[in-house]
Amino acid sequence: MADTTNKTGRLGVIEDGAECPRVRFDDGSVFSLEKYPGQRSRLKPGTRVRVSGNPLGPSAISRCQQGRAFIATAIDIL
């Protein structure tokens, strides 16, 4: 899977998650948002977003309890 992270972030849609909101990026990858700077109340399923940040490594332990985690440094609601 190609890394599509860049200065403008990755585009995707918010989905329900067990402990954290999840984002399905346009490339089909799905991550739990481990950190979501000041956005929790706005991250409703179906919301289109641009997320900047980096995924945790596949062996990292996440508090989200569901899939790989993504550490967001910025989230823009589109």
**pLDDT one digit per residue (tens) for the chain, 78 residues:** 444 444 469 999 999 988 889 999 999 999 999 877 667 788 999 999 999 999 988 777 778 888 888 998 889 999
Return the pLDDT at 1: 41
Helices (H), ranges, the chain: none
* 54: β partners: 71
Give the Cα separation of 24 and 26 in Å (integer): 7
One-letter amino acid of 74: A
Domains of the chain with bracketed CATH:
10-77 (2.40.50.140)
Sign of CA dihedral 20, 43, 33, 37: negative
Other C-beta atoms closer than 10 Å to the C-beta of 65 total 12
What is the model's pLDDT at position 38? 66
pLDDT recorded at residue 4: 44
pLDDT of residue 6: 46
d(CA 34, CA 63): 7
